[in-house]
């Protein structure tokens, strides 16, 4: 696959693969879910259709290398603009993208009140720090306050910010932990941290309140449960908060920054990376709502370590 002219984290789809997906999109079944996960029957139907496509094995090998340890940085940006040009973002387009990413890991609808693909538009009336706000969205893991956060979080850019801002941020969290002092690292292993509400969630285990930031498990099954959003009402003199702030500083030092264009899909391995977003451009009130930044979010669940070993 021709990737030599792209940044190392970007993955282009060969035109032959785009054509095959476009031709078969209409026969891909609608997704059915079982306990929030793409049903085995739907997954098999997608796999049987896509596995015969030329370039699909090479595409998956590149994704695996970028997303997973030990070689990968823990994130990738799939370039799907040509696919969206061919199919749009209606049923056929989302079926094709869902089938494609289902070969990486199983799609998961974690939020019961939202569809499998959750729209993240731009809302001028809410807290700017929130995912659909206009401000800085600091480094975090999605569904950080659960015993089993999604393995991958993915964001498909339907419309970039017309003001040209809103850069995505990704940082390798385990490398950041390695740069901390022993004292800070030890504090982060204590269950002293809280964030957000926990309700109407599926496939992410139980609520963990309070939780440790470092759970002590390997990157295969464990997480570094960090979110800078928990600092809003925190006591800055608390040594546990100071340790978490030290981790945030290391995350910022190591962060990667880039813009998502139309059709770009950012996939983040939450066992390895945090992600965030810079503020959108000024003057959002002058942009019609239908033209503001719009992303579609989906979560992915890989087999558990025990399933892999079975």
User: So what's the pLDDT on residue 148?
Assistant: 96
| Closest by Cα among 179, 197, 177 to 188 | 177
User: So what's the pLDDT on residue 158?
Assistant: 98
In the predicted model, is pLDDT for residue 307 greater than 80? no
In the predicted model, is pLDDT for residue 48 greater than 90? yes
User: So what's the pLDDT on residue 72?
Assistant: 85
Determine the Cα–Cα distance for residues 13 and 149; give it in Å rounded to an integer.
Answer: 29
Residues 6 or more apart in contact with residue 188 via CB below 8 angstroms? 177, 180, 212, 213, 214, 240, 243, 244, 247
pLDDT band (50, 70, 90) for residue 2: very low
Residue 116 carries which DSSP code?
S
User: So what's the pLDDT on residue 304?
Assistant: 59
Decide if domain 10-304 falls under CATH 3.20.20.370.
Answer: no
Per-residue model confidence as pLDDT tens digits over 175-200: 999 999 999 999 999 999 999 889 89
Average pLDDT of the residues in 80-108: 96
Q: Where are the domains of the chain?
A: 10-304
On average, the pLDDT of the chain sits at 93
Q: What percent of the chain has pLDDT over 70?
A: 96
Average pLDDT of the residues in 125-146: 94
User: So what's the pLDDT on residue 71?
Assistant: 77
Least confident of 92-96, 122-126, 150-154, 230-234: 230-234
pLDDT band (50, 70, 90) for residue 86: very high
In the predicted model, is pLDDT for residue 308 greater than 70? no
User: So what's the pLDDT on residue 129?
Assistant: 87
């Amino acid at each position: 696959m021709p990737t030599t002219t792209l940044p190392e984290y970007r993955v282009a789809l060969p035109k032959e693969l785009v054509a095959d997906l476009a031709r078969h999109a209409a026969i891909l079944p609608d997704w059915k879910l079982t306990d929030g996960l793409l049903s085995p029957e739907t997954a098999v139907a997608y796999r049987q259709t896509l596995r015969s496509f030329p370039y699909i094995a090479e595409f998956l090998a590149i994704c695996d290398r970028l997303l997973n340890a030990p070689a990968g940085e823990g994130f990738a940006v799939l370039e799907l603009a040509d696919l969206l040009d061919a199919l749009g973002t209606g049923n056929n387009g989302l079926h094709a993208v869902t089938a494609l990413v289902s070969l990486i890991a199983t799609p998961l609808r974690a939020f019961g009140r939202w569809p499998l693909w959750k729209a993240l538009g731009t809302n001028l009336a809410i807290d700017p720090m929130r995912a659909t706000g206009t401000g800085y969205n600091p480094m975090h893991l999605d569904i950080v306050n659960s015993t089993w956060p999604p393995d991958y979080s993915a964001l498909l850019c339907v419309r970039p910010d017309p003001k040209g801002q809103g850069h995505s941020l990704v940082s390798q969290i385990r490398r950041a932990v390695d740069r901390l002092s022993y004292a800070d690292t030890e504090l982060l292993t204590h269950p002293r941290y809280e964030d957000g509400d926990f309700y109407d969630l599926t496939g992410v285990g139980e609520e963990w309140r309070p939780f440790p930031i470092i759970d002590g498990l390997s990157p295969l099954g464990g997480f570094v449960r960090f979110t800078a959003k928990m600092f809003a009402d925190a006591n800055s003199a608390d040594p546990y908060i100071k340790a978490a702030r030290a981790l945030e500083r290391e995350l910022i030092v190591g962060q990667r920054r880039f813009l998502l264009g139309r059709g770009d899909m950012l996939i983040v391995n939450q066992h390895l990376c945090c992600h965030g977003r810079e503020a959108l451009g000024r003057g959002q009130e002058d942009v019609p709502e239908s033209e503001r930044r719009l992303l579609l979010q989906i979560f992915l669940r890989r087999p558990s370590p025990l399933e892999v070993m079975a």
